[in-house]
Amino acid sequence: MTWIKICGITNLEDAQTAVDAGADALGFVFYEKSPRNIDPEVAREIVAKLPGQVEKVGVFVVGSDIEWDDIFCRVGLTAVQHQFSIKRKAQQSSQKAVCIDSFPRKARFFVSLPVTPFLGDEQAIKSLAADFAHLRPEIPGQSPVSEGVFDTFFLDSGGSQQPGGTGQPFDWAKVVPIAEAMRNGGTKLVVAGGLTRFNVSEAIRTLHPWGVDVSSGVESRPGKKDPEKVRAFIAAVRETEKSA
């Protein structure tokens, strides 16, 4: 089954709607510039009321000053999604290294990459595909990377001005080589950016992803989900699976 994440949760009502509709994961955005930014204490109260089997994902933008490891522990999250942005100039980052084994519970780590800047460069797409094809090699004498640790990548439509949450889909056909390389290389692809109940079937049929991620496509306004859109989106994914 396709993994479904409903992102940008800001209140308990929306969280419960998504869970009841069959979402596998909920995303909580900790980024002050986002209209879906949520206070860690509010997120903690929501997470405490969610079923154990639902993935609770904290979304953090790389380069921001947020102490993501502290929020992970305080809120009770089960996964961390690092959102990368493409900057013209390298910026100083205050992020620090964190020992994964030091976490009080096993965490999953996701990476979200904006692909829009690559779409006009065929060579860049080939290069990125080659990187994914050899991302997780089996090295004799070394322990393999733990399952759930940087084995899942989100391809999003963000760019230099906005790392994610653009509400615009990218050209899925152009990244088919990347999707194929990810499957061959043992990494999981999650499609994000501009998905709706009307186009998610096409995205799945084009890229055959492990999962899909939606935010604005199921909203009545930024930060507030529309229950009917949430249910319709998840139903569209499940119907697509039946016809595959």
- Residues known to be catalytic: 7, 156
Say if CB 192 and CB 155 are below 8 A apart. Answer: yes
Residue type, 7: C
Say if CB 61 and CB 83 are below 8 A apart. Answer: yes
d(CA 238, CA 45): 30
The answer to whether the Cα torsion of 62, 64, 65, 71 is positive or negative is negative
d(CA 203, CA 1): 15
Spatial CA neighbour of 165 closest among 136, 199, 122, 194: 194
Integer Rg of the chain from CA? 17
Say if CB 185 and CB 132 are below 8 A apart. Answer: yes
Backbone angles phi, psi at 98, to 5 degrees: -130, 135
Spatial CA neighbour of 179 closest among 204, 150, 146: 204
Tell me the DSSP string of 136-189: S---TTSPPPPTTEEEEEEEE---SS-SS-------GGGGHHHHHHHHHHT-EE
